[in-house]
Structure 1
C-alpha cells in the first residue's frame, strides 16, 4: 500500500495529513465512503482535476476502495489552524451559517449534514475542519460552476448556488480558523435525518418534511 499511495502523498502530504496552510486537503481519517466516492468522481469525470484523473483513470472500484480504506484508518493529529483571515463580523457570519443556516433561503446549517463537531459522519460525509481556506473557497466555487459534481441529486451543488460570494468567504474563513480537538473523529451517525436529499449519501435517512428538500 505504501507504494500504491506514494503519488497521493506527493500532494496530500505525508500520510495524507496536509497542513491547513497549503492548498491540498487532508485525507487522513476521512470516512472511507466519502474518499472512495471522490476517487470514483475524479475517475468518472464528476470532478475536474487532470492530475487526479490521470492517476486513477484506469483503476477499478475495488482498487480505489482499498486506497480509501487505508487513508480512512489513519488516526493522526491535526495541525493547529492559522490565525483568522477575516474581520470578526465576517467570521460571525460564517459561524451562523455553519451552525444555524439561513431558513429564509432554504439553506440548511452545515452541522445538520457534516455533524455537530464538523468532523463528518460515517461512512459518506466529510469533515470540514482542518482544511485550508483556499481549498474550501475553490470547492464551493467548483460546485457553483459545475466543475465539481456528485451523484444526483447533487445536494452540495444546490446549496452552493444559493450562497453569495460573501457567504462563501465567511464560511471558509470561519471553518479554516477552527481548531480540531485531540481525538476528534467522524461521528458514527447523525442525530436526525438529513435536511436535503444527497445522491452521494443515499444510505443516510432524509427528513421527509424538511423545508430544504428539493421540490
Structure 2
C-alpha cells in the first residue's frame, strides 16, 4: 500500500512540474527577430524617444551604419560590447543589418527641453552654419547637410540625439580620436580645434532642434577634397 502511495505522489509531482515548465516558443527566423540584440540598447523599433547614452539607429544612412558596424568589429572604433557582438559577423551580414535599420521609418522624438543662454545659442549657430575659417573649422552643415540630417552615403545626421551623447562624441573626437570615421581622422581634425565651451554649446543647441528634412545627396566638392587629403596624409583609404 505504501508503495502505491509513494508511486502516486511521484507521478503527481512529475505531472505538476511538467504542467508548470515553460513551453517552447516558436521564434521566427527573421532579421527583425535577430536584431533584437541591437534594440536592447538602441531602443525598440517602434519607440520614438532619445537616449542619453545610446544613439538612435533607425533611419540612419545605410552607408554610415555599415561602416560603423565594420569599425566596431575590426577595432577601428572602441566599445567592447559592440566588438564582442559583431566579432564573427561577415560584411554581408553587417550590410543586411545596416539595410534593415536604414529602412525603418519611425518618427523622431521632440526636441530636448534645454534652456540655452542667447550667447551660447549664437556661438552654436555660428559654428553650425558658418564655422570658423580662421581656425579652418568648417560649418557643421557643410558635411552634415543644410538640414543637419546627414549626407549620402556615410555622413550621419546630427538631430534627434541627446545632448549628453552629442557632447560625449564630440569630446571623444577632441581628446584623441578614439573614434574612427569612414574618412581617416576627418572629424577628429575638426573637433580638436573646438573648445569645450563650443562643444557644450553645440551639443545643447543640436539636441534642442526638431529633426526634419532629408539627407543631402553628396558632400560639397571642397569638403570631399579636404577629407580625401586627410586620408592620404594618414595613409588610410578606408
**TM-score tier after normalising by the smaller chain length:** 0.7 to 0.9
Shift of 1:19: 2.3
1:188 is matched with 217
1:210 is matched with none
State how far apart, in whole Å, the 1-side matches of 2:47 and 2:65 are: 14
Three-state SS of the structure 2 residue aligned to 1:178 is coil
Shift of 1:54: 1.0
1:156 is matched with 187
State how far apart, in whole Å, the 2-side matches of 1:93 and 1:16 are: 35
Structure whose alpha-carbon radius of gyration is higher:
2
Q: 1:180 to 1:167 in 2, by over 3 A?
A: same
* Count of paired positions: 197
1:33 aligns with 2:63: yes
1:166 aligns with 2:219: no
State how far apart, in whole Å, the 2-side matches of 1:85 and 1:41 are: 35
1:198 aligns with 2:227: yes
State how far apart, in whole Å, the 2-side matches of 1:101 and 1:155 are: 15
Q: TM (normalized to structure 1)? A: 0.85
Match of 2:75 among 40, 45, 48: 45
Higher normalized contact order (CA 8 Å, seq sep 6+, divided by chain length): 1
The CA deviation string for residues 120-179 of structure 1, in whole angstroms up to 9 with x for no partner, is 012111100001111111111111223212355320010011111011011111101001
Stretches of structure 2 lacking an aligned partner (at least 5 in a row): 1-30, 232-238
State how far apart, in whole Å, the 1-side matches of 2:92 and 2:48 are: 25
2:153 is matched with 123
Stretches of structure 1 lacking an aligned partner (at least 5 in a row): 203-215
Shift of 1:193: 1.7
Task: Name the structure where helix makes up a greater proportion of residues.
Answer: 2
1:113 aligns with 2:169: no
State how far apart, in whole Å, the 1-side matches of 2:61 and 2:216 are: 9
The CA deviation string for residues 83-106 of structure 1, in whole angstroms up to 9 with x for no partner, is 124322112211110011001100
Match of 1:68 among 78, 81, 98: 98
Q: 1:164 to 1:84 in 2, by over 3 A?
A: same
Give RMSD over aligned pairs.
1.9
